[in-house]
Structure 1
Amino acid sequence: MIAMQYSFTLPSDYDMDIIDRRIRDKGPLLDGFPRLRFKAYLAARKQDEGFASSENLYAPFYLWDAPEGIDDFLSGPGFAAVSGDFGWPSVQTWMVWHSDIAANIGTAKFATRTIRAVPPHSDLAALRAASIAKAKSASKAGALVAFTGFDPTGWRQVKFCLWPRLPEFTAGVDAGQTYTVGHVSLPASS
């Protein structure tokens, strides 16, 4: 498996209802896309109460069964349309260290994502084990998806979760970026 995300930063006065309509209208088009484990259509708004973002964002997150799925999507009409409308994004990818996916993933309403730098000469095995333990803990806390991955090109790790409701974070815990989920595309068999 391999994960992927790209993000579009939108102007502070951008009408985010446009993004909501886009997700509502185009989200189901990726339902059943070959090699796609899931795609979470994510948005963040500067004015969201309780977890306001520093920017307005449209930032889909994908989990693919195989790299060929990324190639098929990025080479296809869906990505051509979104990059034509919003610009040519940098596409981040992560190798999968661990992924728990609940059967009711389609009920997700919120997502959290934290990206951290991996310091040089880190004990990667220990970092992976700690990341997997945190993902399993998120699953026990109610996450519908608890994913952790690693990018050896940029030396970064990611933790991504989908939630049925906004999780509570204790003081001193970095929630990273919080998003609302507009739609979750799933394989045809789900």
Structure 2
Amino acid sequence: MHALQYELTLPADYDTGIIRDRVTRVGHLLDDWDGLGLKTYLLRERGVHGSPVNQYAPFYLWNTMEGMNRFLWGGAFQGLVDDFGRPAARQWSGLAYEEGAATDAPAAFAVRRREPVPDGAELSGLMADAVRETRRIAEADGAVLAATAVDTARWELVRFSLWAHGAPKADGDVFQVLHMSAPGRDRLPRGRQW
């Protein structure tokens, strides 16, 4: 599993209806993308769920590097680049993935939390803790799924979870899920990724 996310931070007075319309128009294009586990089309709106910004920030879990590379270099990503400029696309190696207690429910919210891997930390123990935390989040009421990945260039963990309803039971930035393409979700490897 490989995670990818880019963020488009938009002006405070930006009409987020433009993003909603865009997702309605193009969101289905990845519904059958080979190599994609899932893509969530995420939106934060300033003042909603504590967000200080308007931000469009799709989050991906990939089953294959080939699928991700075909998306980035084969033309699909170019449409976003043409409309908004080329964002930094962050990438993380998968640590853990779990289906949630509400696995069959549609996702309404996503929570993303990035945190540094502390200097001097014993890596195997820290990563084992991250796997256990992923499982704990997935078992919470309303959880659709949970995943954790690591960026070894920045030594940063990213925790990502989807929630069906109500207040998410995970800490981090809360996003609205506008659409989810999940052609290979059933093939994302469960549990620890090593």
TM-score by length of 1: 0.90
The alignment partner of 1:77 has SS state of coil
The alignment partner of 1:104 has SS state of coil
Give structure 1 stretches of 5+ with no counterpart.
none
Structure 1 equivalent of residue 151 of structure 2: 151
Contact 1:108/1:165 (CA < 8 Å) preserved in 2?
yes
Equivalent positions of 1:1-190 (< 5 A) are 1-48=1-48, 51-102=49-100, 103-104=103-104, 107-141=106-140, 142-168=142-168, 175-187=171-183
- Displacement of 1:104 after TM fit? 2.2
- Displacement of 1:9 after TM fit? 0.3
Amino acid at match of 1:64: W
Amino acid at match of 2:120: H
Question: Identity over aligned residues, as a percent?
Answer: 36
The alignment partner of 2:76 has SS state of helix
Amino acid at match of 1:124: L
Give structure 2 stretches of 5+ with no counterpart.
187-194
Change (3 A) 1:81 1:168: closer
TM-score by length of 2: 0.89
- Displacement of 1:66 after TM fit? 1.4
Amino acid at match of 1:114: R
The alignment partner of 1:41 has SS state of strand
Rounded to whole Å, the distance in 1 between the matches of 2:15 and 2:112 is 23
**How many equivalent residue pairs?**
183
What CA deviation, in whole Å up to 9, does each residue of 1:12-64 have, x standing for no partner?
Answer: 0000001011111111110010100000000000032xx13111000000000
Change (3 A) 1:168 1:29: closer
Rounded to whole Å, the distance in 2 between the matches of 1:36 and 1:188 is 6
Rounded to whole Å, the distance in 1 between the matches of 2:65 and 2:7 is 19
- Displacement of 1:121 after TM fit? 2.6
* Of 71-80 and 96-105, the range deviating more from structure 2: 96-105
